[in-house]
Amino acid sequence: MGKSKGRNKTNQNNLVPPTPVRFELEENALELMESHLALFKPRAKDADTNARQERESVKKQKAKQRGSNVIQEIDLHGLTLEQAEREVAEAITRRSSLNEKRTFKIITGKGRHSSSGRGVLIREIYLFVVHRYGPWIEQIEESPDGVRLGGEAIRGHFHVTLKGP
């Protein structure tokens, strides 16, 4: 036993520092990395393409409606759910008194500043509009909460067109 203790002390005193690991890069390392990264680009490109197509579709709808239908914006940034519901109801009532259809762009925001990290307005205001104005809805975009990329909503607004009374 005494000898083994002595050997350990000797080995500890004569430790050789480890040599650093050296990596050898292949000549085409950059090319290999770029080709690997290219495998992931189509997904992001598809999402960008879908978002772009959606924006173009909305722009076309707006262009068609400009002649007879003015788009009214309702911005709900910074409001609580109760305040936002009241603001939407008041704005629609205020602007829908004429006997013609009206299009509203309801801006909820994406919910980045929400305490939960996921927006409440983005989902709840859409449902509020559908339930409260359902019979008068001529056209409504898909809920912004349903279109997500990496867990985050792609857009923080939706358009709804209401028929005249």
> Per the domain annotation, does 30 fall within a domain?
no
> Per the domain annotation, does 144 fall within a domain?
yes
Q: Name the helix (H) or strand (E) containing 152.
A: strand 152-153
55 versus 6: the higher-pLDDT residue is: 55
What tens digit of pLDDT does each residue of 43-90 get? 544 555 666 777 767 666 665 555 456 788 898 888 888 999 999 999
> Per the domain annotation, does 151 fall within a domain?
yes
Q: How far is CA 9 from the centre of its chain?
A: 61
> Per the domain annotation, does 48 fall within a domain?
no
> Per the domain annotation, does 105 fall within a domain?
yes
> Per the domain annotation, does 7 fall within a domain?
no
First to last CA, the chain: 100
What tens digit of pLDDT does each residue of 116-129 get? 556 678 788 889 99
- pLDDT of residue 100 exceeding 80: no
Structural domains of the chain, count? 1
User: Which residue range(s) make up the domain with 76?
Assistant: 72-156
What Cα–Cα distance (Å) separates residue 71 from each residue in 41, 76, 155? 36, 16, 18
Distance CA 1, CA 165 (A): 100
- Residue 28 is predicted with a pLDDT of 80
> Per the domain annotation, does 52 fall within a domain?
no
What tens digit of pLDDT does each residue of 134-160 get? 888 888 887 666 565 555 656 678 888
- Give start and end residues of each alpha helix (H) in 14-162: 29-38, 41-66, 81-95, 121-133
> Per the domain annotation, does 5 fall within a domain?
no
